[in-house]
Structure 1
Amino acid sequence: MHQLKIDLEGIDEVLDTTGVELDLALPDGLDLRRYDRAAVCDIGATAALMALASPNSTTHGGRADLANLLRRLPPGGRAVLLLGWNAEDLPGHWLLDLILELSCRITQVAGVECDAVHGIETALVVARVPPSADLAPANLHAVAEFGIARLKQQVAELNSRLSHVRQDLVGARSETRRIRSSGAYRAGRALGAWTRAPVRGAATATRELARIWRGRRSRPVGREVPRGSGSVTVPIALPSSGAAADRPPLITITAPARLLVPRYLAADGLAGYEPSALACFLAATDVAGPGAVYDVGANVGIYAALAGAMTDRPVVAFEPYPLLVDVARRLAEDNGLGYTTETLALGARAGTATLYLSDRSDSSNSLHAGFRTSSHQLEVPVDTLDSYVRRTGAVPAVIKVDTETSEPSVLAGAAETIMRHRPWVLCEVLAGRVEPELERVLAPLGYRWFHITDEAPYRESVRIVGDRSYQDLMWLFAPETPTGAFWDALGRWREALAACTPERAHLLRTRLT
């Protein structure tokens, strides 16, 4: 039985004129009684008529039948109209003309489940009132407001479903990269090429098989990080370009086995973990003026670790989730990187906020309710970037922001610092979620906007539009037009990062131990 969600304050009885069995439950306290249309009897002040109207006038009431019923309403009397039309279909409909003609005001509009009997889709509550000039626009507004609210709900549901599909797509692409980098896949391709071209492919296949064998010999068993309990240690080969002389060629990260970023790094290394964004980030540290590097939304601290290993700049990581903070701090300590990790979220104003822990991935925790399904939440401290700079004196020259849809708030809280010190900003943009807000925050700051892709030089954009394929999520907001020095640095870092494979990491680890 379907609940009819209407409010009939002051009514204790509903007179059913439909003549059919209705699978509808009335609100508590209301009695339902059959009403004999042929009988001529008064409708009391505490009773309301219930009538049925739909496109199928042979079984449901048509215009004339409904008009006769509504004329029986006394002044102030009410009727519940069960309709076979959507609310969106009612503007311009004869039903609204009839309601106006009989001086009735629409007081409520409610939806009825589409699988309810007799094709009922909408319920209207109308009241008999004195004629007035504002009756027509009031009735139209009531119907339109309900239709808009229902459409917004449908759009929100579609966006939620789309978010889950996109998250699954990101995971599928990562799994595809892992498979393509596996020895079995590479061996299969080499043997396939050999089969298709026995003479020309023999030498190529032999070299590729030898590389695969050497790589597997230097790799510990179980390279892929398990998703179960316990901790794992993953070696990460560092890019050689620009590394300080006293820095090792690799670092290691020790983390709970269930965390997503360490699993990606175990499968793909830095060569497959956001390589375009990492190259842009490191190029920005090369050309930016004096100052610190801020990693906002640091997760386990990979961007902070790279800045600590590849530059001499002070580095600060901001991460509100204590579990990830512990991993980021151990990453710095184990590898002598010296960056600071603050257990702090950044936003538009200081205070506290609820951090919604994603049920799907630790990389999707967000301050925004509903971004991902969340069974667990915690209260976290929030500060503005401007306040942090004033308090600590650590002025950023490069800022990376990846906070799962709260990026506009982070940059709004950094507006003073950005205007005064002109840092280079790398920012995640999730399609359909933050673009208008980002544009409003950035428009007064005089920055240039570039979508970070694997094609360089990037094209300057006048609009911020997220990548709906979820392949390239990061944008560069530059305080000036990038010069040749930036593009040269970008090219060097891209080439250096391409060599940071898991095979190289395990080979380096074997040599160092």
Structure 2
Amino acid sequence: MRLHEIDERLFDGIREIVDVTHEQVTLRRHLRAPEHVAYRRAALADPAEVLADGVLVLALAGPNPPGHTPPSALAPLLGRLAPGARLLLLLGWPVATLPHHRLLEPLGPASCQVLAATPLDGTAIRGVHAALVVERVTSVAPPRPYLRPEGPPLGEPADGTAALLRMANEYVLGDLVTRPARRRLAELDDRVAALTRDLAERDARLRESERALAEVRARLSAVESSSPLALGRLLLDRPRLAGREASAGLRRMLGRRRSRQ
């Protein structure tokens, strides 16, 4: 999925994009924002500026500074968001190793809710693996339809708002993390079924090989106990036997053979 496709409502009500990514990071061309939406760069740490309603902040969090912002540095930025302002947070961690608990910590205290979490495996942005759409809210917004049916807001601001926001954010982030695992599990189930079929076929071939080996061993045992082979061994062991001794040995072997019969 491309960056501009993460949420069809991303730019609803947005008048300005404020890019707080590192100066060496260039993401503007990937946004494909509407023409009426202004764009400007700003410093990540600027406590004097309040990011008002109608502003979409663009940030990149990840494990590799200075291009990536560490999760601990997001708290001041989130605190500057006015109600209604949004944050498009790009993530530099692979989804399978996403430290979502570190991302959750600054969201609840700042009254910020994750509205959408989208993997970006097919994006053209190198090193960006997922995107979060975060909004400063005054009440807990209902989850998006792909998570649960449309319904009324989950609650109003109260003493438990931060806890409600944490639960809602953790639900969205947890779903983001488990989606690839569920897809991988389905692939592994198919692979296990194929391996089980292969194993059954190999077991059948092994049983057939063991039966053929038993037949060969039986035939070999019969050959090893035969009189011609015994006579040949006698002659090889004593090649200079006199004729009388050889005849006597042959008679003894024939006698033993008749007695067995």
Which category of TM-score, normalised to the shorter sequence, fits these structures? 0.5 to 0.7
Please state if 1:180 is matched with 2:229: no
Question: Aligned pair in 2 of structure 1 residues 126, 115: CA closer, same or farther (>3 Å)?
Answer: closer
Q: Give the structure-2-normalised TM-score.
A: 0.56
- Check 1:88–1:191 CA distance in 2 against 1; reply closer, same or farther (3 A cut): closer
Letter in 1 for 2:120: V
Q: Residues 65, 175 of structure 1: CA spacing in aligned structure 2 closer, same or farther, 3 A cutoff? A: same
Rate the CA distance shift 1:175–1:186 in 2: closer, same or farther, 3 A: closer
Equivalent residue runs for 1:350-499 within 5 Å: none
Q: Deviations over 1:470-504 (max 9, x none)?
A: xxxxxxxxxxxxxxxxxxxxxxxxxxxxxxxxxxx
What's the counterpart of residue 7 of structure 1?
7
Task: Give 1:172 deviation, angstroms.
Answer: 3.9
Q: Normalising to structure 1: TM-score of the pair? A: 0.31
1:73 aligns with 2:81: yes
Please give the alpha-carbon distance, in whole angstroms, between the structure 2 residues aligned to 1:167 and 1:25.
46
**Aligned AA (1:159):** D
Asked which structure has the greater RCO (Cα within 8 Å, sep 6+), the reply is 2
- Equivalence for 2:225: 200
Residues 187 and 41 of structure 1: CA distance in aligned 2, closer, same or farther (over 3 Å): closer
Unaligned runs of 5+ in 2: 139-156, 229-261
1:235 corresponds to: none
Secondary structure, aligned partner of 1:48: strand
| Pairing 1:97-176 to 2, within 5 Å after superposition | 97-113=105-121, 119-130=127-138, 132=158, 133=160, 134-176=164-206
Query: How many residue pairs align between the two structures?
Result: 195
CA deviations over 1:259-293 (Å, ceiling 9, x no partner): xxxxxxxxxxxxxxxxxxxxxxxxxxxxxxxxxxx
- Does the 8 Å CA contact 2:98/2:177 hold for their aligned counterparts? no
2:218 and 2:38 mapped to 1: Cα distance? 78
Structure 2 counterpart of 1:17: 20
Within 1, Cα distance between the matches of 2:88 and 2:67? Answer: 18
2:108 partner SS: helix
Shift in alpha-carbon separation, 1:37–1:29, aligned structure 2, 3 A: closer
Give the 4+ runs in structure 1 shifted more than 6 A. Answer: 39-42
**Structure showing the higher helix proportion among its residues:** 2
Whether the 8 Å contact between 1:15 and 1:35 is mirrored in structure 2 is: yes
Change (3 A) 1:87 1:46: farther
Q: Displacement of 1:51 after TM fit? A: 0.5
Q: Please say if residues 108 and 165 of structure 2, whose CA atoms lie closer than 8 Å, have aligned partners that are also in contact.
A: yes
Which of residues 54, 59, 83 in structure 1 aligns to 2:91?
A: 83
Measured against aligned partners, the alpha-carbon deviations of 1:414-466 in whole angstroms (never above 9, x if no partner) come to xxxxxxxxxxxxxxxxxxxxxxxxxxxxxxxxxxxxxxxxxxxxxxxxxxxxx
Change (3 A) 1:191 1:79: same
CA distance in 2, matches of 1:69, 1:62: 12
SS at match of 2:117: strand
Larger Rg over CA atoms: 2
CA distance in 1, matches of 2:120, 2:64: 18
The answer to whether the 8 Å contact 1:67/1:98 transfers is yes
Q: Work out whether residues 53 and 83 of structure 2, in 8 Å CA contact, stay in contact via their aligned partners in 1.
A: no
Residue 101 of structure 2 is aligned to residue 92 of structure 1 = yes
1:105 to partner: Cα distance: 1.0
- Partner SS state of residue 171, structure 2: helix
Q: Is the 8 A contact 1:90 1:96 kept in 2?
A: no
CA 1:157–1:80: 2 relative to 1, 3 Å = same
- Name structure 1 gaps, 5 residues minimum: 204-513
**TM-superposed deviation, 1:148:** 3.7
- % identical aligned pairs: 28
Q: CA–CA distance in 2 between the matches of 1:135 and 1:169? A: 50
Show the counterpart of 2:40.
35
CA shift, 1:164, in A, is: 2.1
Aligned-residue RMSD, C-alpha? 4.3
Q: Match for 1:7: what amino acid?
A: D
